[in-house]
């Protein structure tokens, strides 16, 4: 199976290790991964700020890079959602967030790694309520959680229950800057929930939320570690 890898702009620039983990993970499951070298960004930063029209060039570049593939995989629920809702249009390209690609398409059963730590899952909102990677707490129905299902296959991992299992971290793209005070407070509240539950490592399918939480925990010298789910599934350990 051939898949095009879409690496979100902030991962490309600041968290290459997340892109590498995603690539290696997909290769481990026998996927032929191609990374179109001319890719940039999905255009979400502009669009969510009210300037979808300024993201048109980014959308064009996205389609030039990915338009001919059957499958595109990205280690981000948020970017995947934006592409599906605002970039693809009539195109038949199938874009997947990494976790849902692993559970729904590759139907991964064995991950073959160990992670002997207390882990809290941060449910990033766009993956949760946009892509339905899990059942949100508001909805009534059968419970499911794709990222959690994958992590449950990791040996020695201790998944921790939170007081508020799917409250937003307050990142929200430019919201983090335009509503800085409340964004910071939301992030600190999320950190507290994880820390009160004894979490050693916070993980998520979205590095953008994690960048926000990491920025706060580092500034306040909290010991909690931050890792993208691809890194845990690929066998990395907290640094």
Partner 1 sequence: MAKTITHAEAAEAFLKDADRTQWHDETLWHVRTKRDTAAQKLPEWEQLRENASKVKEYVLSHLDELLVTFEKNAKANGIEVLWAKDAAEHNQHVYEILQKHSVQNIVKSKSILTEECGLNHFLEDKGFDVVDTDLGERIIQFNKQVPSHIVMPAIHLKKKEIGDIFHTHLGTQQGADDPNYLTEAARNHLREKFINANAAITGVNFGIVESGGFVVCTNEGNADMGTHLADVHIACMGIEKLIPRKADLGVYLRLLARSATGQSITNYSSHFHRPRSGKKMYLILVDNGRTEQLGREHFRNSLKCIRCGACMNTCPIYRRSSGFSYNATVPGPIGSILSPGMDLKKHSTLPFASTLCGSCSDVCPVKINIHEQLYQWRQVVTEAGHDSAAKKWAMKIGGKVMGSPSLYDFLGKSARSALKLTPKKLVYSRVNTWGKSRDLPEPPKESFKEWYRKNRKP
* Edge-to-edge order in the sheet of strand 201-204: 158-159, 118-121, 201-204, 225-228
By the rule CB under 8 A, 114 interacts with partner 1? no
By the rule CB under 8 A, 77 interacts with partner 1? no
Exposed e or buried b per residue across 148-181, where buried means at least 16 C-beta atoms within 10 angstroms of its C-beta? bebbeebeebeebebeebbbbbbbbbebbeeeee
By the rule CB under 8 A, 146 interacts with partner 1? no
- Contact segment (CB under 8 A) with partner 1 among 93-101, 106-114, 138-146, 194-202 equals 138-146
- Contact segment (CB under 8 A) with partner 1 among 6-14, 100-108, 112-120, 153-161 equals 6-14
By the rule CB under 8 A, 145 interacts with partner 1? no
By the rule CB under 8 A, 49 interacts with partner 1? yes
Measured from the CB atom, is 103 or 214 closer to partner 1? 214
* Edge-to-edge order in the sheet of strand 32-34: 32-34, 2-5, 71-74, 94-97
Query: What's the farthest any 2 CA atoms get from each other in the chain?
Result: 47
Looking at 60, 91, 116, 144, which residue binds partner 1 (CB under 8 A)?
60
**DSSP per-residue codes, 105-157:** IS-------B--SEEEE---HIIIIIS-SB--TTS-S---BHHHHHHHTSBT-
By the rule CB under 8 A, 198 interacts with partner 1? no
Distance in Å, CB of 212 to partner 1, minimum? 7
Report how many residues bind partner 1 under the rule CB under 8 A.
76
Looking at 29, 118, 159, 215, which residue binds partner 1 (CB under 8 A)?
215
By the rule CB under 8 A, 25 interacts with partner 1? no
By the rule CB under 8 A, 131 interacts with partner 1? no
The sign of the dihedral angle between the CA atoms of 46, 187, 237, 31 is negative
Looking at 136, 158, 162, 222, which residue binds partner 1 (CB under 8 A)?
136
By the rule CB under 8 A, 144 interacts with partner 1? no
Looking at 39, 80, 103, 203, which residue binds partner 1 (CB under 8 A)?
39
Looking at 141, 156, 161, 223, which residue binds partner 1 (CB under 8 A)?
141
Asked if 8 contacts 74 with a C-beta cutoff of 8 angstroms, the reply is yes
Distance in Å, CB of 96 to partner 1, minimum? 19
Distances from the Cα of 167 to the Cαs of 1, 32, 89, 161, in angstroms? Answer: 36, 36, 30, 13
3-state secondary structure of 103: helix
């Amino acid at each position: 199976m051939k898949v095009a890898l879409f690496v979100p702009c902030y991962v490309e620039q600041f968290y290459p290790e997340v892109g590498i983990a995603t690539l290696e993970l997909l290769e481990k499951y026998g996927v032929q991964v191609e990374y179109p070298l001319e890719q940039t960004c999905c255009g979400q930063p502009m669009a969510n700020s009210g300037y979808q029209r300024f993201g048109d060039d980014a959308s064009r570049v996205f389609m030039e890079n990915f338009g001919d593939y059957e499958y595109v995989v990205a280690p981000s629920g948020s970017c995947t959602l934006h592409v599906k809702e605002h970039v693809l249009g009539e195109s038949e390209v199938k874009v997947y967030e990494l976790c849902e690609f692993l559970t729904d398409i590759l139907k991964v059963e064995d991950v073959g790694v160990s992670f002997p730590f207390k882990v809290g899952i941060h449910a990033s909102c766009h993956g949760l309520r946009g892509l339905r990677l899990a059942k949100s707490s508001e909805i009534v129905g059968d419970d499911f959680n794709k990222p959690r299902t994958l992590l449950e296959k990791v040996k020695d991992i201790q998944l921790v229950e939170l007081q508020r299992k799917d409250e937003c971290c307050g990142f929200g793209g430019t919201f983090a800057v335009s509503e800085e005070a409340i964004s910071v407070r939301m992030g600190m509240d999320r950190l507290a929930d994880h820390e009160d539950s004894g979490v050693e490592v916070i993980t998520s399918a979205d590095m953008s939320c994690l960048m926000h939480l990491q920025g706060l925990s580092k500034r306040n010298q909290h010991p909690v570690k931050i890792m993208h789910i691809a890194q845990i599934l690929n066998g990395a350990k907290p640094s």
